[in-house]
Amino acid sequence: MGQRKMNRLWPMSDISPQGGKSVVGKSVYPQCGRKNGDEMMEKTFQYLNGLLHDTDGSQWSGLCDGFLRYGVPVILAIVAGCLAVWLVILIRQWILRTKVGRRYGVTVPENIHISRSGDIARPGSLSLAWPEWRTAKKDGTRDRRTNDRRIIRNKSWLLIDGWEMWSKDPESLYGLAVDLRAAHADIMPCAEEERKMRIMQRRLELQQAADGVDDIINRFQDEPTRFEEYCAGLFRAYGYTATVTPPARDGGYDIFLERGGMTWIVECKLYGRGHRVGRPVLQKLYGANNGIGADGMIVVTTSGYSADALTYASDSGIETIDGDRLVDMCRAAWGTRRPQSILPAAMATLTRSELRSGYPADMR
């Protein structure tokens, strides 16, 4: 096939070098290799042009024969090699899972990958990570303004005694960590467990202030807002669902209570023994309930109430809790013995619902 047919598809005037440069841009190949470059391009164009104008199919037949003779075996060899590597990885993971299982007396799930590490760090460490949408809103849920449904499955890690374990399923890896701890493996709390422990420790510290009115006053006089949390914890001990309102927008009350389909609003006043709660405090709570519509209203204080306040409370249906009654309620809920100052680490173990809370709301 000659130069004439080649030029019909690819006019050499459009692409041939002129002084080492193409008509439309920079140098296509070095000046010193101009002759060889011309020959290579010409042969390539001739071959492709021949395939396009192959009337008897001889060139296509040769190409197919060459592919069957050389291409197919190469592809099969690549596939076989990939399968062999995959099989080796599976066998190795099975062996490592068996070793870890026998050493600690646990069952290692198949979705956990194991490798050996040169760093035998003690105690072990645990880091949990949850899946997330590639395109997510601020609250973590998928941004439905796009069609992107891809999920980033982050790895959770467990490092112990020279073993590195990871999984894209945080619940599975955490379950293994719990089993290993039960087998006396030393694994430090993860960030989520530390957070839970801090919350529980804080509630424990609040309960320890229930020995008397003076103890409560001394405990919270520098942090009056924590007295509200203390009262909320007390109501929770009696079976209420208690929500503390933010100080910046309390709406005239400090705690919202729910139990058995009924609701209450609570106002908390941390006063010294000589400072009585007056009528205006109760009037403010009553006015706030006009917009809330709760079934009941409660005022809690560490002191007492003026006679005028008690009369107003009786007329308006507001329940009053003074300092002495508050201490009695604390003792009935938590006992007179001080709770232990340090919580056992096992109490920080995450529940399934706490683990699931790490997922975006539309993945749970």
Residue 215's identity, in one-letter code, is D
Q: Which stretch of DSSP H or E encloses residue 80?
A: helix 72-104
Please report the pLDDT score of residue 21 as a whole number: 44
Q: How much is the pLDDT for 53?
A: 59
Domain boundaries, the chain: 3-52, 105-198, 209-338
DSSP state, 351?
Answer: P
pLDDT per position as a tens digit, 68-102: 677 778 888 899 999 999 999 899 999 999 999 99
Q: What is the pLDDT of residue 76?
A: 86
pLDDT tens per residue across span 251-265 = 789 999 999 999 999
Q: Please give the residue that has the higher pLDDT: either 200 or 236.
A: 236
pLDDT at 46: 63
Average pLDDT over residues 223-228: 87
| Percent of the chain with pLDDT strictly greater than 70 | 77
Query: Residue 155 gets which letter from DSSP?
Result: P
* 319-350 per-position pLDDT tens digit: 999 999 999 998 888 776 554 555 677 788 99
Q: Tell me which residue of 336, 331, 326, 337 sits closest to 213, measured CA to CA.
A: 326
Q: Which residue has the higher pLDDT, 312 or 46?
A: 312
pLDDT at 342: 58
In this structure, are residues 277 and 304 in contact, taking their beta carbons and an 8 Å threshold?
Answer: yes
What's the pLDDT at 181?
92
Query: What CA–CA distance (Å, rounded) separates 267 from 254?
Result: 5
| pLDDT confidence bin for 51, thresholds 50/70/90 | low
Q: What is the pLDDT of residue 15?
A: 44
CATH number of the domain located at residue range(s) 209-338 in this protein = 3.40.1350.10
CA distance 242 to 34: 85
Strand partners, 318: 297
Phi-psi region of 161 (alpha: psi -120 to 50; beta: other; left: phi over 0): left
Q: Tens digit of pLDDT for each residue in 160-186?
A: 988 999 999 999 999 999 999 999 899
Measured between alpha carbons, how far is 185 from 101 in angstroms, rounded to an integer? 12
Cα separation, 283 vs 277, whole angstroms = 11
pLDDT at 87: 92
Put simply, whether the predicted model's pTM sits higher than 0.95 gets the answer: no
pLDDT category of residue 129 using cuts at 50, 70 and 90: very high
